[in-house]
């Protein structure tokens, strides 16, 4: 359909394999397109729904942030940095912040609030965990919160608490002696 000067007056019907629009195209309703090749910018005033895989060949910029509702993976085929958090603020407050937030409807004492896990392949090609850091909420009482931060490198396929931090102090090798018997 070719329109006259963008005012919506139909001049003639075009049926063929190619359509070039040199001015504006305004589609009201749903349009089902098998392949779209866009050479310029795309401005969407509402939500874009992608039900397949979205592949980009350049950096993707999210000016409003993003939220993932499922697990996400960042993969790179070399030893370069996979994730960088940058703050351009120039004040004396904290810079980039990585926040692990357990948003439980029923928090309880001894909940593990977050864990960082280091994994790699063992000699048989299995993915193995080689070290953990985790924070446990030992007391969730409002106004009297307590926590532990445990550092646990693997030892004989177990994870002894090699270093435990609390607000009261630090403990070294509390479980290591038990494993080495």
- Give yes or no for a contact between 156 and 175, defined as CB atoms under 8 angstroms apart: no
Helix (H) or strand (E) holding 114: strand 111-121
Give pLDDT tens digits for 11-35: 556 666 777 777 777 777 777 778 7
The predicted pLDDT at position 15 comes to 65
pLDDT for residue 177 is more than 60: no
Rounded Cα–Cα distance for residues 22 and 25 (Å): 9
Q: 40 or 175: which carries more pLDDT confidence?
A: 40
Q: 54 or 176: which carries more pLDDT confidence?
A: 54
Contacts of 31 (CB under 8 A, 6+ apart): none
Considering the entire predicted model, what is its pTM?
0.67
Give pLDDT tens digits for 143-170: 999 999 999 999 999 999 999 999 999 9
Give pLDDT tens digits for 67-94: 888 888 888 899 999 989 999 999 999 8
Cβ neighbours, 10 Å, residue 152:
20
């Amino acid at each position: 359909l070719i329109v006259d000067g963008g005012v919506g007056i139909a001049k003639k019907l075009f049926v063929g394999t190619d359509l070039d629009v040199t001015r504006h195209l305004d589609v009201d309703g749903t349009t089902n397109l098998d392949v779209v090749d866009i050479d310029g910018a795309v401005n969407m005033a509402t939500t874009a729904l992608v039900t397949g895989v979205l592949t980009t060949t350049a950096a993707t910029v999210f000016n409003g942030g993003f939220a993932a509702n499922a697990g996400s993976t960042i993969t790179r085929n070399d030893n370069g940095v996979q994730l960088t958090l940058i703050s351009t603020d120039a004040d004396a407050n904290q810079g980039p912040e990585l926040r692990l937030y357990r948003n439980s409807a029923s928090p309880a004492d001894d909940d593990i609030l977050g864990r960082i896990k280091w994994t790699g392949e063992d000699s048989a090609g299995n993915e193995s965990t080689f070290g953990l850091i985790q924070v446990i909420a030992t007391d969730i009482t409002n106004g009297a919160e307590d926590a532990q931060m445990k550092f646990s490198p693997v030892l004989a396929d177990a994870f002894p608490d090699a270093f435990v931090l609390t607000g009261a102090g630090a403990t070294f090798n509390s479980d290591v002696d038990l494993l080495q018997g």
